[in-house]
Amino acid sequence: METWGEDYLHRETQAYIQIDTGGLGDFQFGLVSGSIDGYVEDMGTEPRFTFTWEGRDEMHPVSGGGWLRPTGDGEAEGMIKIHRGDRSRLKARRPPQQ
């Protein structure tokens, strides 16, 4: 994430985003955590997962939105935004199967 440094991203736990097949999920980076509600939409030649979210930044309620698109090999890129606040590009990678 370009807005927040690596030291912040993994401050409480390893930063993550999880989304189930129904479009619901959760995430955490730094002290920001939340629940996701989204859907896949066709953006021309490629699908994009568009979502809204609500959660907490430390003890303060926050919400926002974002999107992700697959880039291949279990990776995705996108953007996350805090309502009336910061926004950042992001990259995600599916963890190896155990």
Asked, for residue 82, whether it belongs to a domain, the answer is: yes
For 27-65, how does the pLDDT look when each residue is reduced to its tens digit (9 = 90+)?
A: 999 899 999 999 999 988 889 999 999 999 999 999 999
Asked, for residue 1, whether it belongs to a domain, the answer is: no
The long-range contacts involving 10-13, CB below 8 angstroms and separated by at least 24 positions, are none
pTM score: 0.85
Residue 25's pLDDT is 97
Position 2 confidence tier, pLDDT thresholds 50, 70, 90 = low
Asked, for residue 98, whether it belongs to a domain, the answer is: no
Give me the domain span that covers residue 60. Answer: 6-93
d(CA 89, CA 69): 12
Asked, for residue 75, whether it belongs to a domain, the answer is: yes
- Phi-psi group of 31: left, alpha or beta (phi > 0 → left; psi -120 to 50 → alpha; rest → beta): alpha
Structural contact between residues 16 and 28, judged by C-beta atoms closer than 8 angstroms? yes
Residue 6's pLDDT is 74
If one counts the domains in the chain, the total is: 1
Q: How many helices (H) and strands (E) does the chain have?
A: 1, 7
Asked, for residue 59, whether it belongs to a domain, the answer is: yes
